[in-house]
Amino acid sequence: MQGEEREDLQPCGACGRGTLRPKDMAWVRTGHRDDPRLCVRRRIVLPVCDACGDMALDHVLAAALDEALEDAYRQKRLRQQRAMISDLHKLGLTSTEIECAACLPPGHVTRLRRGMVASPRTFRLLHLLHAFSPGAVWALSRIDPALAEVYARVATDDEL
């Protein structure tokens, strides 16, 4: 069309049917590491096939995408783990008690709040503890009596 910028488009080498077109990947959800729905929150334009969705990335674009994904992963994880720890504190659990419940070494919760990204295993344990407390604390007190006192303190009268 007249007045429209001419794009230097290439055919897709993966499917042979589509065309590689520049696509802004900001706000597109994709799997990265152990996060199935990660969203890159910055503008990153990549050649994407309009038929099969394959990306044709050279090493520069691949490195840029990887850096954007890593940054988004870190920011999302820090936001989530800080929120979960904050909620557990509001429920009445101390950092030491969270560490006891999740089998974490002393000081670990403080490090997670200060910017260390939780391992996938620690993140899952925190997620379960957060999603099902105080019931999760009760369940753990069955195998760790030290948590029985914690449960008695944080459970509501209906739960006791």
- Contact by Cβ (8 Å): 56, 12: yes
**DSSP assignment string, the chain:** -TTSPPP--EE-TTTSSSEEEEEE-TT-EEEETTEEEEE--S--EEEEETTT--B---HHHHHHHHHHHHHHHHHHHHHHHHHHHHHHHHHT--HHHHHHHTT--TTHHHHHHHTPPPPHHHHHHHHHHHHHTTHHHHHHHTT-THHHHHHHHHS-TTT-
Candidates 51, 56, 78, 152: give the one binding Zn ion (CB under 5 A).
51
Minimum gap (Å) between residue 27 Cβ and Zn ion: 22
Residue 10 beta carbon to Zn ion: minimum distance, rounded to whole angstroms: 11
* CB of residue 65 to Zn ion, shortest distance in Å: 17
Choice from 7, 9, 15, 119 touching Zn ion (CB under 5 A): 15
**Candidate segments 12-20, 35-43, 79-87, 99-107, binder of Zn ion by CB under 5 A:** 12-20
Question: Is residue 109 at the binding interface for Zn ion, with CB under 5 A as the rule?
Answer: no
Comparing CB distances to Zn ion, the nearer of 30 and 80 is 30
Closest CA to 42 of 62, 13, 17, 64: 64
Residue 146 touching Zn ion (CB under 5 A): no
Residue 52 as a binder of Zn ion (CB under 5 A): the answer is yes
Q: Is 54 in the site for Zn ion (CB under 5 A)?
A: yes
Q: Which stretch binds Zn ion (CB under 5 A): 37-45, 48-56, 71-79, 104-112?
A: 48-56
Q: Which residues bind Zn ion (CB under 5 A)?
A: 12, 14-15, 18, 49, 51-52, 54
